[in-house]
Each structure stands twice: as C-alpha cells, then as structure tokens.
Amino acid sequence: MPHVRSVLEGLWIVFREKAMTQDSVFRQNYPVKGGDFARAGNVSWEIKNLLKELGLSTAVVLRAAIATYEAEMNIIMYALEGRLALSVMPGKILVIVEDSGPGIEDIELAMTEGYSTATPEMRELGFGAGMGLANIKKNTDAFLITSEVGRGTRLELTFLTNGQHR
C-alpha cells in the first residue's frame, strides 16, 4: 500500500520534528463502504500500522486494532456506508465511528455476547458470532454508543496511551 506508506512517512517526520504538546492532535478519516467484504479489515489494518509507526505500546495498538476491526465489520455487514475518524493526541486515542444504516433497536440486547442479527450469508463467510460490540467495549477505556433506528449508529471509542487501562 504505497499511499499508506507515504502518509506514515509524512506523519513520522512531523511527529519527530515537533514533540507532541497538549494541543497537538493527528486526525485521519477512513471511509467504509457497506457490503464491501473484499476490503474488510483494510481500515483497521491501516490504523494498526499507523499506531505502530507512531511508537504506541503493543498493548494499546492491539486493543485499538481489535475494536476498530469489529466496528469496521459492523459497517460492512449492516450499513450502506460509514467512517472511522481517528484522532491521536497526548495520552489518548479517540475513534469516532458513524454509519448510515438501520440503527439498533435495543442497544442493551445488541451488547449481549452471542447476540447477532447476521444473515445466513454473513455467517457462511464466518461473521456474525455476536461478539462485535462486546469486543469493542472490552478493548476500550471508554465506550459510548448511540443509535437511531432508520438513521444509523455512532460509537465513541477511547484508548488511553499512558499505560492505564480500565
């Protein structure tokens, strides 16, 4: 992925030349197309590699990779489109996930491990175990979900980078 490499090299130069201060933030938006199983995992892979290049701890990178993969797959499986907006700042990573999809009628039920609304076709591809939202919450330090039926879902995922994890 030449584009990813050039973006990472540019970021590395900026971060190396300017020590991160309290007000410095890196932001990147990643669009995700619903139903695009051929590209499933690409966005979370890019985020994982970026965080590794920025020198974040393996534990933080792993947790962020798991949570962003699950969020990306939810967009691909259920929404028309969506995006992951990554912000890296001193002490934390924030990922906002938004989609234009059917929304979630019962968030509490959807958070239950094993609950899934995956179609038989999705299950044949190996998806739909009902662990997505639970895995996202488990791997974040702060998790907020809002959803409107017929409009879509929004997640706020926070990862602390200072060695603390809830």
pLDDT, mean of residues 40-49: 97
How does pLDDT run across 106-154, given as a tens digit for each residue? 999 999 988 888 888 888 888 877 778 999 999 999 999 999 999 999 9
Length of the chain: 166
Task: Return the pLDDT at 45.
Answer: 97
CA nearest neighbour of 83 among 93, 66, 95: 95
pLDDT, mean of residues 59-84: 97
As a whole number of angstroms, the distance between CA 60 and CA 44 comes to 13
pTM: 0.83
Please check the confidence at residue 156 and state whether its pLDDT lies above 60.
yes
Query: By percentage, how much of the chain surpasses pLDDT 70?
Result: 83
pLDDT, mean of residues 34-45: 96
Query: Domain segments of the chain: what residues?
Result: 2-160
CATH for the stretch 2-160 = 3.30.565.10
pLDDT, mean of residues 18-47: 85
Task: Return the pLDDT at 121.
Answer: 87
DSSP of the chain = -HHHHHHHHHHHHHHHHS---TT--EEEEEEEETT-GGGTTHHHHHHHHHHHHTT--HHHHHHHHHHHHHHHHHHHHH-SEEEEEEEEETTEEEEEEEEES---S-HHHHTSTT-----HHHHHTT---S-HHHHHHHH-SEEEEEEETTTEEEEEEEEE-SS---
How does pLDDT run across 79-111, given as a tens digit for each residue? 999 999 999 999 999 999 999 999 999 999 999
How far, in Å, are 54, 95, 111, 129 from residue 143 at the CA level? 23, 10, 12, 20
As a whole number of angstroms, the distance between CA 162 and CA 39 comes to 32
